[in-house]
Chain A
Amino acid sequence: AQSVTQPDIHITVSEGASLELRCNYSYGATPYLFWYVQSPGQGLQLLLKYFSGDTLVQGIKGFEAEFKRSQSSFNLRKPSVHWSDAAEYFCAVGGQGGSNYKLTFGKGTLLTVNP
């Protein structure tokens, strides 16, 4: 069965500091990997996705993530955090063969940004 672990429940960073959110997944085949962001009372917005190819993927809002198969990880990074990045971040894994819609999400990491 597929699963996602986000080890950090809550992270606090200062505005302008760098950010890395961790994500580890378990999946029996080549995974499709996603990062979504959720602001309070809102739905999920796709930040970036990995399907195949270059293991470093660029997303919206200056985010990037690196797929490391040997570590089963897909960590999200941003070099300089803005106050508007405060939100909850979810990592998700899906599969090929049409099952990529059946995403399994982690429990999320809540990001607080201090001025």
Chain B
Amino acid sequence: DAGVTQSPTHLIKTRGQQVTLRCSPKSGHDTVSWYQQALGQGPQFIFQYYEEEERQRGNFPDRFSGHQFPNYSSELNVNALLLGDSALYLCASSLGGRNSPLHFGNGTRLTVT
């Protein structure tokens, strides 16, 4: 039973560029959430997708956008990269019910130079 998988594992981009991160949820899960974890900090909620729509959003600018596909996989897009976007980006999946805890992937380490 595959868990949450994310790609790529590491990425280096230049300031001003755009990046796309990918996530495949755990088998049987239909909800995907994205978190940003800066160095030395706890993860911060970016947004959550369910039934191909953004259901909730955290305090992140519009440069951060996402998408969920019919097979429940998801993408996170970040435009006009800033140095401060350097972080570990974590994808988490869950079932669309109330008592379903999050299962996290190992993340994508993004470095913006």
Q: Which residues of A contact B (CB under 8 A)?
A: 4, 34, 36, 41-46, 49, 51, 90, 92, 96-108
Contact = CB atoms under 8 A, between A and B. Distances in A.
17 contacts: A43-B4, A43-B90, A43-B104, A44-B90, A46-B103, A49-B101, A90-B43, A97-B98, A100-B99, A101-B31, A101-B56, A101-B92, A102-B48, A102-B56, A103-B43, A103-B102, A105-B42
Interface of B: 4, 31, 33, 40-45, 48, 55-56, 58, 90, 92, 94, 98-107
Contact of A45 (B33, B44, B98, B104): B104
Contacts of A43: 4, 90, 104-107
Most buried by B among A97, A100, A101, A106: A101
Contacts of B33: 101-102
A99 B57 CA distance: 11
Given A36-B104, A100-B98, 17 more contacts: A34-B101, A43-B105, A43-B106, A44-B90, A44-B92, A44-B104, A45-B104, A46-B101, A92-B42, A96-B98, A101-B94, A102-B58, A103-B102, A105-B42, A105-B43, A107-B40, A107-B42
